[in-house]
Amino acid sequence: MSSTMSEETRIKPYEGLFLFPQAALADLGSAVEHVQTILSRAGAEVIAFSKWDERKLAYDIAGNKRGVYLLAYFKVATSKLVGIERDCNLSERLLRTLIIRADHMTEEQMRAADARQKLEDEIRLRATQPAAVFQEDQSDDREEMIEEEEEVEAAEA
């Protein structure tokens, strides 16, 4: 068997969680493009991509108390994974990255998690509305979640 054939057969599915500072929300499109550039540089095939969550971090990371998580499901040759991790570690924009094998999911399940259209809609919305207006339009649920998190932290302290 040739080395090219063995390389092709070693393409595996992965789940990547990319943490950006909350300030990345101001230019969410750029953050998304940054992750897609890292993945495309390694020749990864992106199956699904979404904004997973915005939340308070368990502890400060580089002075950031809140962060934005982007979730990607992708296929890539196992030999290219080291390059993706290196690029993530060298990135000054990313706070943290976690990449694991996604053997626990089928490709259909990964595709079902794809929210690129919703993400593009949010990017357009953020670009057309001032940040203050966008913040006011957020649901009260987010404020309630933040208050609950702070109450839990106060109770634990």
- pLDDT tens digits, residue range 1-42? 445 555 456 999 999 999 999 999 999 999 999 999 999 999
- Is the domain of 54 the same as that of 19? yes
- Is the domain of 50 the same as that of 111? yes
- Is the domain of 11 the same as that of 76? yes
User: How buried is residue 82: exposed, middle or buried, by Cβ count under 10 Å (0-12/13-18/19+)?
Assistant: exposed
- Is the domain of 40 the same as that of 70? yes
In angstroms, rounded to a whole number, what is the distance separating the alpha carbons of residues 39 and 77?
A: 11
Instruction: Write the DSSP symbol of residue 113.
Output: T
Name 56's bridge partners. 66
Asked if residue 120 is part of any domain, the answer here is: no
Total structural domains in the chain?
2
Tokens of 113: 């998690």
pLDDT at residue 4, as a whole number: 53
Q: Which CATH number is 88's domain given?
A: 3.30.70.60
* pLDDT higher than threshold 80 for residue 133: no
Asked if residue 124 is part of any domain, the answer here is: no
Collapsing DSSP to helix, strand or coil, 129 comes out as: coil
* pLDDT higher than threshold 80 for residue 50: yes
Tokens of 126: 């953020």
- Is the domain of 15 the same as that of 90? yes
Lowest mean pLDDT among 57-66, 119-128, 141-150: 141-150
Averaged pLDDT score across all residues of the chain: 85
| Residue 139, domain extent | 129-157
- Is the domain of 81 the same as that of 152? no
In angstroms, rounded to a whole number, what is the distance separating the alpha carbons of residues 49 and 74?
A: 9
Contact 52, 17 (CB under 8 A): yes
